[in-house]
Amino acid sequence: MILITGGLGFIGTHTTQALLDLGESCVLVQRRPAVLPERFANAPVVVEQADLTDEAALLAVGERHKITGIVHLAGSIPWPPGAYQPLEGADKSIRSLLNVFRAASEWQVARLGLASTIGVYGGVTAEGALKEDLPLPMTSPHPIPAFKKIGELLGDHLAGAMGLDVVHYRIGAIWGPLGHAQSPFFAAPQLVHAAARGAEPDLSALRAGAYAEDGIDLCYVKDCGRALALLQLADRLAHRTYNVASGRATTNGEVAAAIRKLVPDARVGLPEGRDPAARDTWLDITRLREDTGYEPAYDTERAVADYLAWLRAGNER
In contact, 116 and 140? CB cutoff 8 Å: no
The yes or no reply on domain 2-173+219-244 and CATH 3.50.50.60 is no
User: Dihedral of CA 97/99/102/103: which sign?
Assistant: negative
CA dist 217 and 123 (Å) reads 16
Radius of gyration of the chain (CA): 19
Q: Is 201 helix (H, G, I), strand (E, B) or coil?
A: coil
The residues with which 130 forms a beta bridge, in sequence order, are 283
Q: Kindly report the number of other CB atoms within 10 A of residue 219's CB atom.
A: 29
The number of angstroms, rounded, from the C-alpha of 287 to the middle of its chain's C-alpha atoms is 18
**Domain range summary for the chain, segments of one domain joined by +:** 2-173+219-244, 178-217+248-281+298-315
Which pLDDT score, from 0 to 100, does residue 291 have?
98
Q: What is the pTM of this model?
A: 0.94
By the 8 A CB rule, do 237 and 167 touch? Answer: yes
pLDDT value at position 82? 59
Give the angle 71-73-79 at the CA atoms, nearest 5°.
Answer: 160
The single-letter DSSP state of residue 281 is: B
Q: What is the pLDDT tens value at each position of the chain, 317 positions in all?
A: 999 999 999 999 999 999 999 999 999 999 888 888 899 999 999 999 999 999 999 999 999 999 999 999 997 665 555 566 778 888 888 999 999 999 999 999 999 999 999 999 998 988 899 999 999 999 888 888 999 999 999 999 999 999 999 999 999 999 999 999 989 889 999 999 999 999 999 888 887 778 899 999 999 999 999 999 999 999 999 999 999 999 999 999 999 999 999 999 999 988 899 888 778 889 999 999 999 999 999 999 999 999 999 999 988 65
